[in-house]
Chains A and B, each alone.
Chain A
Amino acid sequence: MSALVQTGRPTGGRASWATQTAEVCRRWTVDLVRQPWGLGVSVIQPVIWIVLFGNVFESIATVPGFGAGDYLTFLVPGILMMTVLYSGAWAGTGFIEDIRSGVMDRLLSSPVHRSSLVAGQLAQQLLMATVQGVIVLGIGWLAGARYDGGVLGLAVALVASLLLAAAFCSLSAAVALLARDQTALIGISTIIVLPATFLSTALMPVALLPDWVETVARYNPLTWATEIGRTAMSTDVDWGLVASRGALLTVLAAVVAAWSVQAMRTYQKSL
């Protein structure tokens, strides 16, 4: 029996960064799949939005100055971006749960790269965002939206949604690791997410927004992502807009992701 525990070192001490990140991602994916309620809600939410906003705001399309033809087709890219934003708000809750339960202590006292813990969880969030994005686009199509930009347009829109997701999930993770409190995280997320939705062009074309909202919306990452989605999914793609807004989102995602890795180190220093 005594040989069993001490038979050499079965593992060699530490896996590569990629293996660790993949393993962390796999763990969160299995966790997610085993919580059918969370999974169900994240799929049902965009369905409700498309039906609700599609019907309530339908008449906007008849207002002079709306510009686009059909409100639903206009709405779907906005809902796509809103979906990843609202899901991303919860990204940090897993870290808080790990801190509370003791899993984080075990991981941090083992030879795991701190950045793998953050990157692996982000990778899982992006996988989920991709699945959600495909579902949103599918539901939109079933409801009557049409995507003139073809497969390329849809792909560009999805990539934009992933950049937005990366930025917001990282923000949620960083806040979670610094605040370490579920209530604070959800409170902060709610305070950011809801105004961000209405201070953007996700639901309303820029021409119909009040001046000050229009000004704010111009600096809102949700607007950047929505603009990319809308133009990429139209017949007349403005690639300049895709490039400039894409660059802004990429820089934002990189900066916030780096901050979330820093937040993991700050967390450990506070112990």
Chain B
Amino acid sequence: MPTQLAVEATGLIKTYPGGRGRPDVRALDGLTLTVPAGTVHGLLGPNGAGKSTTTRVLTTLSRASAGDARVAGHDVVRHADQVRRSIGYVSQGTGADVLLTPRENLAMTARLRGASRSASLDRAGQLLDRFGLADAADRRTGVLSGGMRRKLDVALGLVDAPQVLFLDEPTTGLDPEARASMWAEIRRLAGEDSLTVVLTTHYLEEADRLADGLSIIDRGRVVAAGSPDELKAAFAGDTLTVDLVEPDAVLVRSVAARIAGLGDVVVHVEGPTGRLVARTPDGPAVVGPTIAALQAAGVRHGAVGVSRPTLDDVYLRHAGRSWTAAESAATSSGSPDASPDGSSDGSSPHDATGTVRVERSEVAR
């Protein structure tokens, strides 16, 4: 390994002009990040947290307004060209020309990076085989499925055997099957000895499953860092969840407030159903008293569950707001993650929050 740290960034600040007299948007606000070589590192945060901006600065696409960053040992501003030779970058958009075939896209990328014509075709063939794209190799990229196109994007990032591969939201917009398949690919990449993968995601489950190390990003800063297990372990206690039927929120809150061992009580009501969520140092011990208290007060309820802390809980603690609230705040105020030409990832707030909820219950299981 040429370097011990694949990424070393200190105090990154990035502001974009607000436009039309509005104040500047501060996408990065003193972000500091280190990524050891040979690991998979996740940048986790809701839309608009600054993950993509961080990636764009580290890949030399954008220049930070202040702060320093080194990637694969090279300064991203002074030695941008060395950085570009050492990295692969898979952006949120497609990196492939839709009118060219996957083989042509890969070969062109290899040619631009200095391979001879025959070496570039060899390299294209290797990567097509490896990513299971051989059957689609000579069809136009534009007609391929979303999952195949995303695999091609990742293959394009690997053409020149990079030391660091940046994946910006590699599974956003993919169906569950394609997402699982992409996860398998990324896990295989993680097995490569000298490859470092830096991955941004707003899916908690994705971060939990793939990353060796995580940096939780909120409002342009890293608010917590560590392995997923470390981050969750630092968070003692369990989460108690009770499904409610036609609840009276005020009544439920007052009942819950009298139950010993319950804290941070939240009652959501949605139409005829609702949910009580609370934190407790000892989940199993509090289930019985909770059911008894609710029944005594005449509150009808469904399933009662206890779960270990999730990254959502970790996020809630460090960012001081819930994931869902952060997501909708970002989407309604205009995301600083969106590039200046307006091409953000395009997922609607409902999409994002909906997915997070689903992911969360899966993690909880």
Q: Which residues of A contact B (CB under 8 A)?
A: 1-2, 4-15, 19-20, 23-24, 26-27, 30-31, 34-35, 99-103, 105-112, 180, 268-271
Contacts and interface: CB of A to CB of B under 8 A. Distances in A.
A268 B63 CA distance: 9
Given A31-B97, A110-B84, A6 B194 contact: yes
A105 B130 CA distance: 24
A101 B98 contact: yes
Contacts of A27: 97, 100, 108
Interface residues of B, number: 54
Contact of A108 (B61, B87, B98): B61
A5 B85 contact: no
A23 B112 CA distance: 7
B328 interface: no
Contact of A1 (B89, B112, B130): B130
Contacts of B62: 271
B56 A271 contact: yes
A110 B109 contact: yes
Contacts of B119: 10-11
Contacts of A100: 93, 341, 343
Contacts of A106: 89-91, 95, 156
A10 B114 CA distance: 9
Given A2-B193, A99-B343, 9 more contacts: A1-B130, A5-B130, A12-B113, A19-B114, A23-B112, A30-B100, A34-B99, A101-B93, A180-B341
12 contacts: A1-B130, A2-B191, A6-B192, A9-B161, A13-B85, A19-B112, A20-B112, A106-B95, A110-B109, A110-B112, A271-B61, A271-B62
A101 B99 CA distance: 12
Contacts of A15: 111-115
Q: Which of B109, B115, B194, B341 has the most CB of A within 10 A?
A: B341
A270 B91 CA distance: 17
B61 A10 contact: no
B344 to A, nearest CB: 12
Given A23-B111, A34-B140, A111 B84 contact: yes
Given A6-B194, A27-B100, A109 B87 contact: yes
A23 B114 CA distance: 11
A12 B115 contact: yes
Contact of B89 (A101, A105, A269): A105
Contacts of B156: 106
A109 B89 contact: yes
B96 interface: yes
B220 to A, nearest CB: 17
B72 to A, nearest CB: 12
Contact of A105 (B63, B93, B193): B93
B100 A105 contact: no
Given A111-B85, A271-B62, A105 B111 contact: no
B61 A109 contact: yes
Query: Which 7 pairs from chain A and chain B are nearest by CB?
Result: A102-B93, A106-B95, A11-B115, A13-B85, A12-B114, A109-B89, A11-B113
B110 interface: yes
A268 B340 CA distance: 11
Contacts of A105: 56, 61, 89, 91, 93, 95, 339
Most buried by A among B87, B111, B119, B159: B111
A107 B108 CA distance: 11
B189 interface: yes
Given A35-B99, A105-B89, A109-B61, A6 B193 contact: yes
Interface in B56-71: 56, 59-63
B104 interface: yes
A101 to B, nearest CB: 5
A59 B344 CA distance: 57
A251 to B, nearest CB: 31
Contacts of A6: 161, 192-195
